[in-house]
Structure 1
Amino acid sequence: MAKRNTYFEDEVVHKKIDIKQFGRILKYIMPYKHIFIIVCVLMLVSACTALLPPMLLRYVINDVVVEKSMAKLFYVVCGLVFLAATDIGLTYAQQRMMGQMGHSVIADMRKDIFYKLQELPFEYFDNRPDGKIVVRVTDYINDLANFFTNYVVMFLVYLVKIVIVTIFMLSLSPELTIIVVCTVVPMMALVFLLRYKIRRRFAWHRAKLSNRSAFLIETIMGEKIVKNYNRVEKNKSIYEDLHNQSVNVWWGIVKLNNLNTPIVEIFWNIGTLCLYGVALYLILNGSSQVDAGTVVAFISYMGLFSGPLTQIAIIIQQMAQVSSNLEQVFDTIDYEVQIKDEEGDVSLDNVKGQVDFDNMTFSYEDDINILENMNLHVKPGETIALVGPTGAGKTTIINLITRFYDVTGGSVKIDGNDVRKVTLESLREEVGVLMQDPFIFKGTVMENIRYGRLDATDEECIAAAKYIYADEFIGRLPHGYDEELEERGEGLSAGEKQLISFARIILKNPSVIILDEATSSIDTETENMIQKALDVILSEKTAFIVAHRLSTIRNADRILYIADKGIAEEGNHRELMEKRGLYYQLNSSNYIK
């Protein structure tokens, strides 16, 4: 398992543009290639029409003014109006179509990353704060949407516009074209250098924003603990520090960005003066190519030449930021899912509930085994309790049964079938898990009970709730089973949330049931009721129980004391107490109540 990244550690980001990342976007663009082609054509036509007004102005100055022809002036004005209207119409059409295509592409990418999150192993989530995962799915994708909606095609258009403007200028006057190029090229060299420095800081800023978001989400999720442990002021201090880091980097970006306008204006004024000076010199020396109209046209073309170059510098800066975002997004999409269905996997059917650990070894990190060469054979219908010190591997054992993780060595089998050779859907239909912290989704009580069996009728859901004595408290809710629950079951007690989760697993009716500290949040009275129901439920099921309450485990068929990378002691409650070993000491220390 890789080292976990935290909110105070910057994610590793590449500072260079990775063209391969953009190449992968073609896969998302291909379904909309007809829109893409139309947009490209519209934008190229729009770029060409933008180059005609300076030629008309040249004609006005050189011919219309000299001839004082109002008719020609009228036609020129009509031409300018037509070109302006055409440019507005083309720009509107291409922006609308590009926006449609860009958002469709990003929508497809959003679906891909969400679908992948549903498949990713626990290891992926263990190694990253929730906030940094959320940032990838939201902020980074939003940046991509903005880029592909506004910049992708424009980049190509600006390149073409530069070429066309250069051809136009050369056709009018090579001498003045040289002046424009000699002015714009050094200006753009400084602009590109400036954008390069800004681009590097954008990568740092993005990492700082990710850190801040990670801490923010962690604090929201642990709000009650924050207040209970008087961490409000300390957390304010941590947030202020993370926020200041982000702001300081951002102000560095702003200061550099503010240099852009002075640089452009200085070179623009120098270029304009040089252009007028050289033009005047050529006119006074009788040049046939340079006249007043040509000079005015060149001033316009200098703007049309430098403007796209400036925009290209900005787009390249955006490309670098987007490339880094793409890297993080594709890191999620490409993350190798090793726990998945393979060809030839079988479906678990008619499960009796025999579970075997054969010479099983497991490690979260290379060369650091949590469990080593462990053997355990559980008969159908047998109840196994797991006790032992924290970190010994109790939860790991049950996670291997559900295949939340895969064994490093040996095997885990259900009814003789290696869990790595059966379909995940059938495995998790037959193995039900009740966690210490039950998760309640936003929705009605009925929807939460039905979560694992969408085909269940209302009557079946109600029967499951009655079976576990949840019907009593549900009946007290204003709308009963139709009561709308808030996210994480806000407003319900810990015991009430756990009762709903018990009803959920009863409705699912798995062959193997795992209780991971599932009754620790329930009061004694509620536990007594649930214990009666569990005695009936577990009597026909294979069960694994991780618990600290003696009442939960003393009736187990076997109790396993997990320590030293395996099973240190094994037996029922009476046998282990008579042995006066590790389990006896655990009881004596009140670890088990």
Structure 2
Amino acid sequence: MARNKKHLERFQYTEDNAIEKPFNWTQLLRLLKYVRPYTKTLLPIAIVAMLVSTLVRMFVPVIIGRVAFDVAIADENIRLLVWIVIGISVMYLFNYVGNLLRIKYVNILGQNVIYDLRQHLFSHVQRLSHRFFDTKSAGSILVRIMNDINSLQELFTNGIINVLMDIVLLSGIIVLLFALSPKLALAVLIIIPIMFYISTKLRRNIRRSWQTVRIEQSKLNSHLNESLQGMRITQAFAQENENAEYFEGINTTNFQAWNDASRKSAMFRPFVEMSNAVGTVILLAYGAHLILAGDITIGTFVSFSFFLGMFWEPISRLGQMYNQLLMAMAASERIFEFLDEQPNVKEKENAVEIMDMKGHIEFDRVQFAYDDKRIAIPDLSLEMKQGETVALVGHTGSGKSTIANLISRFYDPTEGRVKIDGIDLQDATIESVRSQISVVLQDTFVFSGTIMENIRFGRPDAEDEEVKEAAKVVGADDFIERLPEGYFTEVEERGNILSAGERQLLSFARALLADPRILILDEATSSIDTETEMRIQEALNKLLEGRTAIMIAHRLSTIREADRIFVLQDGKILENGSHEELMEREGEYYELVKSQFQMLDAI
């Protein structure tokens, strides 16, 4: 767990920087831009409905106080009183309809905005370079796309319209209070500046608390994702108790962060209620004095009583809304951090499409470093001719996979150029390059779905017969037909119902169905038994005709038939040639083959 603790400390250091940032109004406006597509459809309906219900709420107290009490009741005018009751009933009917439409359309608006934002974030993350995924865990990315965006749901479904409604209501009440009695309005509202001052002092602490909650949630989700993915390793080393203890520590910290944020946020509502109580006492005492002095009527006092009860309600909601806004800002900071992330592998505006790739590959004085401390390739020049099968061998860290990644343009060279058919890959569109290259990795990924869908992944428009033919070519047809529903068998997450060898055969079929011009096999036969490997080798001999193939393998028996073999060390080419030529030289390749045969003899 020491490794996990160090990772957690590093995560704490990088994430805590966000807490010290001031409230970012530009970021809020940026967030509200996602509402823009609905400003001509859903939003106007919601605003009109809100205005109708708000106006009803503002004018009913005036009618009750100034008309019902001061006129109808004072003059004992029963007929007028009946009409007032009917009129108020009709107004409340409009209020009901307005609230119904407001709630309906703000929820539709909010769900649409959340959908758009999540879609935008996922689409953006998909287009980020491999370097981004080298530094971010799957758990932390999952938290941004799911939890952080869910935190914005309340803001968009209720917050925006409710804020407008409360601002309109508060503004209207203040105007009406001063219109009814300036003296009583000043007396009742004297508590507002004091309340505003104290609430302002609370903002920084509340904001910091909710940002801490987001950080602790991210840690919890990241660790949970890692633990679930590594459950077999945890059980293999009997580390369940220690892992549970470590999870309990993270869970407890998350629990305490939520409690702290909730406690600070909960302080606002009692403070508003206390202010309401003070205002009520002032209304009773000073209002009674003004009535006795003849400055106001009983009806005005009644209207004030209604308005005072209504006045603190939107203030309380605005306080709660402010807490929601702080949570939303804490989440949006993390969302926009990902949206502001730019791919390291960028496509030029005038990038050209490689329409019919031939497969001639050149490395021209290429240098590449993953970071300042890891120089993978210091200076490399090589050529892979069209239709040639090239093998890359060498010890771990020699640069084999890095070369494959540069050909697929998962990374761009630090210096120099990687060219296909004479075109610098940095001048070509990424899609036109990758769509004509298939990669089979050592760690094969199988998606949830059927066998048929997994093979068809690289070429969605392929016919069923084409899928089956690709599976037959690589020898996957035998085990697929033995499955309960054949090609339409549902595989579990990551293909757990299949063996490692079967998953690799599946990835072979997927890659070959895509009909690539360049095929990269990165330790692709490492999990396949010798008999299956021989079958695949026969299929590959036919399949690789007319295609450029790059084979990366530690098992040297798989590359004997390669046209050329490059022996690498520390990103440099020690020697190259055919298997026979390299064996005759008795150099580094000879020693590698010799050591593997000695290991086999020892077994």
TM-score normalised by length of structure 2: 0.90
- How much has 1:347 moved relative to structure 2? 3.1
> 1 CA distance for matches of 2:349 and 2:438?
25
User: For residue 13 of structure 1, what is the amino acid of its counterpart?
Assistant: A
Q: What is the aligned partner in structure 2 of residue 511 from structure 1?
A: 517
Which range is displaced more, 452-461 or 243-252?
452-461
Contact 2:344 2:411 in 1 (8 A): no
- How much has 1:549 moved relative to structure 2? 0.9
Contact 2:269 2:319 in 1 (8 A): no
Does the residue aligned with 2:18 lie in a helix, a strand or coil?
coil
Q: How does 1:556-571 map to 2 (within 5 A)?
A: 556-571=562-577
Contact 1:17 1:319 in 2 (8 A): no
> 1 CA distance for matches of 2:456 and 2:300?
78
Unaligned runs of 5+ in 1: none
Q: What is the aligned partner in structure 2 of residue 215 from structure 1?
A: 223
> 2 CA distance for matches of 1:45 and 1:249?
41
Contact 2:387 2:547 in 1 (8 A): yes
> 1 CA distance for matches of 2:318 and 2:366?
58
Question: Which among 259, 263, 266 is matched to residue 267 of structure 2?
Answer: 259
Q: How does 1:248-287 map to 2 (within 5 A)?
A: 248-284=256-292, 286-287=293-294
Q: What is the aligned partner in structure 1 of residue 126 from structure 2?
A: 118
> 1 CA distance for matches of 2:449 and 2:278?
67
Q: What is the aligned partner in structure 2 of residue 461 from structure 1?
A: 467
1:227 maps onto 2:235 in alignment: yes
Q: What is the aligned partner in structure 1 of residue 3 from structure 2?
A: none
- How much has 1:333 moved relative to structure 2? 2.9
Q: What is the aligned partner in structure 1 of residue 316 from structure 2?
A: 310
- How much has 1:344 moved relative to structure 2? 3.9
User: For residue 420 of structure 1, what is the amino acid of its counterpart?
Assistant: Q
1:183 maps onto 2:188 in alignment: no
> 1 CA distance for matches of 2:65 and 2:95?
20
Contact 1:195 1:313 in 2 (8 A): no
> 1 CA distance for matches of 2:277 and 2:33?
45
Contact 1:440 1:497 in 2 (8 A): yes
1:489 maps onto 2:459 in alignment: no
1:238 maps onto 2:243 in alignment: no
> 2 CA distance for matches of 1:368 and 1:526?
37
Does the residue aligned with 1:514 lie in a helix, a strand or coil?
strand
**Structure 2 CA distance for partners of 1:506 and 1:492, relative to 1, 3 Å:** same
Which range is displaced more, 536-545 or 511-520?
536-545
Does the residue aligned with 2:375 lie in a helix, a strand or coil?
strand
- How much has 1:376 moved relative to structure 2? 0.9
- How much has 1:181 moved relative to structure 2? 1.3
Q: What is the aligned partner in structure 1 of residue 534 from structure 2?
A: 528
1:380 maps onto 2:386 in alignment: yes
Does the residue aligned with 2:190 lie in a helix, a strand or coil?
helix
Unaligned runs of 5+ in 2: 1-5
Q: How does 1:37-56 map to 2 (within 5 A)?
A: 37-56=44-63
> 2 CA distance for matches of 1:184 and 1:57?
26
- How much has 1:56 moved relative to structure 2? 3.1
User: For residue 127 of structure 1, what is the amino acid of its counterpart?
Assistant: T
Contact 2:131 2:344 in 1 (8 A): no
Contact 2:438 2:512 in 1 (8 A): no
Q: What do residues 103-140 of structure 1 show as CA deviations (whole Å, max 9, x unaligned)?
A: 22232222222222222111222221111111221122
- How much has 1:323 moved relative to structure 2? 2.5
User: For residue 568 of structure 1, what is the amino acid of its counterpart?
Assistant: L
- How much has 1:277 moved relative to structure 2? 1.4
> 2 CA distance for matches of 1:340 and 1:226?
39
Number of aligned residues: 587
- How much has 1:223 moved relative to structure 2? 2.6
Contact 1:6 1:129 in 2 (8 A): no
**Structure 2 CA distance for partners of 1:30 and 1:261, relative to 1, 3 Å:** closer
Q: What is the aligned partner in structure 2 of residue 29 from structure 1?
A: 35
1:205 maps onto 2:205 in alignment: no
Q: What do residues 495-535 of structure 1 show as CA deviations (whole Å, max 9, x unaligned)?
A: 11111111112222222211111111112222222122223
Q: What is the aligned partner in structure 2 of residue 423 from structure 1?
A: 429
> 1 CA distance for matches of 2:190 and 2:173?
15
Contact 1:6 1:128 in 2 (8 A): no
Which range is displaced more, 260-269 or 570-579?
570-579
User: For residue 75 of structure 1, what is the amino acid of its counterpart?
Assistant: W
Q: What is the aligned partner in structure 1 of residue 438 from structure 2?
A: 432
User: For residue 299 of structure 2, what is the amino acid of its counterpart?
Assistant: G
Question: Which among 360, 378, 402 is matched to residue 354 of structure 1?
Answer: 360
- How much has 1:368 moved relative to structure 2? 4.5
Which range is displaced more, 502-511 or 379-388?
379-388
Q: What is the aligned partner in structure 2 of residue 58 from structure 1?
A: 65
> 2 CA distance for matches of 1:288 and 1:447?
82
Question: Which among 348, 369, 381 is matched to residue 375 of structure 2?
Answer: 369
Contact 2:537 2:558 in 1 (8 A): yes
- Percent identity, aligned pairs only, is 38
**Structure 2 CA distance for partners of 1:150 and 1:124, relative to 1, 3 Å:** same
Q: How does 1:148-187 map to 2 (within 5 A)?
A: 148-187=156-195
**Structure 2 CA distance for partners of 1:303 and 1:559, relative to 1, 3 Å:** same
TM-score normalised by length of structure 1: 0.92
Question: Which among 321, 339, 342 is matched to residue 336 of structure 1?
Answer: 342
Contact 1:7 1:214 in 2 (8 A): no
Q: What is the aligned partner in structure 2 of residue 103 from structure 1?
A: 111
Q: How does 1:464-479 map to 2 (within 5 A)?
A: 464-479=470-485
Q: What is the aligned partner in structure 2 of residue 13 from structure 1?
A: 18
Alignment root-mean-square deviation, CA: 2.5
1:143 maps onto 2:151 in alignment: yes
Contact 2:394 2:554 in 1 (8 A): no
- How much has 1:67 moved relative to structure 2? 3.9
